Amino acid sequence: MKITYLGHASLAIEIAGKYIIVDPFITGNELAKNIDINSLKADYILVTHAHEDHILDVESIAKRTDAKIVSNFEIINHFENLGIAGHPMNHGGSWQFDFGKLTYTNAIHSSSFPDGSYGGQPGGFLLETEDGNVYIAGDTALTMDMKLISMQTKVDLAVLPIGDNFTMGIEGAAIAAEFLVCNRILGYHYDTFGYIEIDHKKAKEIFKNKGVNLTLLEIGSSLKL
Ligand code: NI
Ligand code: MN
């Protein structure tokens, strides 16, 4: 599995010959100006919730690539009204896709569309694949529900928001790593706007003191699992 950081909470994942984009917010992110969204391959687009900083580029990528959107029921409804096919899920539900098993997990956050309309309840995703298991938390507070994930599966990599203000911050994410029994964390949802700028060195230290490895990728660079 190859995971490429596209900035903010956007990821590109290659697994089992399939291409997955998560929460594409690229054209609205000055820090991601070197990412060409027209070069991104996509068989699926996973959407954690309806906020603009997670859905901005969903429509254009889906229409260009014919990718199927996977998200909560209300977000799928929204995109089906725009003529884009999707797979609706809801919290705690899993489905076996051709890239692996996917579960829509709980998140503590909100989920309105940019026009204020209802975007269902926010979530995250657990991917269980032949290359390992990845938990993508989405925008969320630290929550005891994260313990339920490690009770049910082994988490090899957790992608956690660390920018604070709108989600948990660095200290909260370090506790989340304990709840998830996972010592490999990829941080996301930081530095994009003033409210979520973080001190990278301090973040790495806080995790290191707990024996957890925090990776902060340059936008456009990748890690392998
Ligand atoms: Ni959000
Ligand atoms: Mn967000």
Confidence of residue 106 (pLDDT cuts 50, 70, 90): very high
- Confidence (pTM): 0.98
* pLDDT for position 104: 98
State the distance from the centre of ligand 2 to the C-alpha of 52, rounded, in angstroms: 8
3-class SS of residue 58: helix
Strands (E), 35-183: 44-46, 68-72, 86-89, 94-97, 100-106, 123-129, 132-136, 157-161
For ligand 1, the distance from its centroid to the CA atom of residue 51, given in whole angstroms, is 5
From ligand 2's centre to the CA of 90, what distance in Å? 19
pLDDT score, position 195: 97
Q: Looking at this protein, which amino acid is placed at residue 18?
A: K
98-123 mean pLDDT: 98
Ligand in closest contact with the CA of 113:
1
In CATH, 2-219 is 3.60.15.10: yes
Whole-number Å distance between alpha carbons of 196 and 162:
8
pLDDT tens, residue by residue, 125-153 = 999 999 999 999 999 999 999 999 999 99
How many Å lie between the centroid of ligand 1 and the Cα of residue 22?
13
- Dist. CA 213–CA 110, nearest whole Å: 29
Q: How many helices (H) and strands (E) in the chain?
A: 6, 14
Query: How does pLDDT run across 147-188, given as a tens digit for each residue?
Result: 999 999 999 999 999 999 999 999 999 999 999 999 999 999
Q: Residue 84: what pLDDT? A: 97
Average per-residue pLDDT for the chain: 98
Specify whether the CB–CB gap between 124 and 102 falls below 8 A. no
The pLDDT tens digits for 29-78 are: 999 999 999 999 999 999 999 999 999 999 999 999 999 999 999 999 99
Pick the ligand that lies closest to the CA of residue 49. 1
* 96 phi, psi to nearest 5 deg: -85, 105
Cα-Cα-Cα-Cα torsion 189, 205, 150, 106, nearest 10 degrees, comes to -20
